[in-house]
Amino acid sequence: MAAASAVVGATFQGLRAVDAPAVSEVSRLRASNVSTSSAQLRFGARRAGARAMAATVTAPKRETDPKKRVVITGMGVVSVFGNDVDVFYDKLLEGQSGISLIDRFDASSFPTKFGGQIRGFSSQGYIDGKNDRRLDDCLRYCLVSGQKALEHAGLGGENLNQVDKQRVGVLVGTGMGGLSVFSDGVQALIEKGYKRITPFFIPYAITNMASALLAIELGLMGPNYSISTACATSNYCFYAAANHIRRGEADIMVAGGTEAAIIPVGLGGFVACRALSTRNDDPQTASRPWDKDREGFVMGEGAGVLVMESLEHALKRGAPILAEYLGGAVNCDAYHMTDPRADGLGVSSCIERSLEDAGVSPEEVNYINAHATSTIVGDLAEVNALKKVFKDSSEIKMNATKSMIGHCLGAAGGLEAIATIKAINTGWLHPTINQFNPEPAVTFDTVANVKKQHEINVGISNSFGFGGHNSCVVFGPYKG
């Protein structure tokens, strides 16, 4: 049973075992398609403490067309630490845990009784009271974080009317959808019959409604849909949103993920998967990525949304530019619904393809926001895949946001993208807390327990999901 539990824990993350050697076709192709960027070489040579090899790094060519370059101009968050991006990141830098015993419902009979439950959430000023009472939390989190991201981008209120709304799209995904509305509808059907099912049951349970309601609220008529790829959802949305901009189909995309699954059926479902930590006596230390004593992930919830914009459009309107989205990639192991690929090709090739798309060489990457959920097999599988891509990890720092906020499922990548961009902006990396007994196989600097100052050249954020969905997005400082 223990072995089965480990497999389930690993496969929930979408991480694949990577013990057998494999040579990525992407790596082979790169050798015949790269060109040297002199600007990148000069930057690498100037960096204090840079490797001697930095002066000879050869990288694919980065995008230079301002119509196709994608920048981040706004961020919005709903989290266990509140709805303010700066407060969210300050709490992460402090190494504060947001994990506590669940009190939203009676969890006393569950083997796991804790999670990253949001308390005191307020939608005042963003959702009218009548609708607020009807909506699933998954939708409420999206509406608040999406509007706050637009405000952050200078597009709140009347300012939004200054842009062409037909060229502003929304792509906010969710792994689970309106789970509370769905659960309540099923209960009403069983106990009282179909006539007692609310007419909002279908609209507020389906996964596309978060994007739809945000667009309806604000009149945004650009590309609009949702993606649901379990815990890889947010990164899939960022990747797709950026490509809409690159293809000239939108000037602005509001993209990210939202999730609200800490309800009885959500908790019970993951308990049944045997993927959760049961450290009920000390919930705040339960999420411990890369620690030898990890024994499962911790459920979280929230939303993380970015305003992604073409550089040309952002410059024209004088927008604040927080960072640049350099590229990304998504793929599937195409192997088995739950079992991992033995060669790890899915994860490593996804990371390599993201770097190729970004015009970045592995040697330029010096920060990784890892998927790292705190499961027994999954954490090491990701590390092994990273070792295949990054042969020298001496200058790379890697941390795990989930150690403090838990695993926010479809919203995880959204919250972690915000953490990555804040790290780029501030020059400070939040710690990976609960590092008591480190795994010796993890040779990366995991920023254990205490924040570290670090100038990010290029950072990547990984997310992997049930079903073999792999995703990686690449961010860097905006350099004009």
- Residue 281, classified by CB atoms within 10 Å of its CB into exposed (0-12), middle (13-18) or buried (19+), is exposed
Q: Which of 407, 430, 454, 469 is catalytic?
A: 407
CA torsion 135-141-142-143 (nearest 10°) is 70
CA distance 442 to 253: 36
CA distance 168 to 244: 10
- Residue 428, classified by CB atoms within 10 Å of its CB into exposed (0-12), middle (13-18) or buried (19+), is middle
Residue from 447, 296, 270, 432 nearest 374 by CA: 296
CA distance 474 to 417: 9
CA distance 256 to 448: 28
Give φ, ψ of 161 to 5 degrees.
-75, -10
CA distance 253 to 222: 8
CA distance 394 to 373: 23
Q: With contact defined as beta carbons under 8 Å apart, do 382 and 371 qualify?
A: yes
Q: Which of 138, 142, 231, 408 is catalytic?
A: 231
Q: Which helix (H) or strand (E) holds 19?
A: none
Tokens of 449: 């327990």
Tokens of 50: 């840079």
Helix (H, G, I), strand (E, B) or coil at 367: strand
Q: Is 407 a catalytic residue?
A: yes
Give φ, ψ of 374 to 5 degrees.
90, 25
Residue from 367, 426, 424 nearest 400 by CA: 367
Q: With contact defined as beta carbons under 8 Å apart, do 447 and 457 qualify?
A: no
Please give the full DSSP string across 264-316, using - where no structure is assigned.
HHHHHHHHHTT-B---TT-GGGS--TTBTT---B-BB-EEEEEEEEEHHHHHH
Tokens of 276: 């959760």
Q: Which of 313, 371, 430, 454 is catalytic?
A: 371
Q: What is the DSSP letter of 372?
A: -
Q: Is 313 a catalytic residue?
A: no
Tokens of 406: 């838990």
Distance of CA 143 to the CA centre of its chain: 18
CA distance 265 to 270: 9
Tokens of 103: 């009190």
CA distance 430 to 336: 35
Catalytic residues: 231, 371, 407
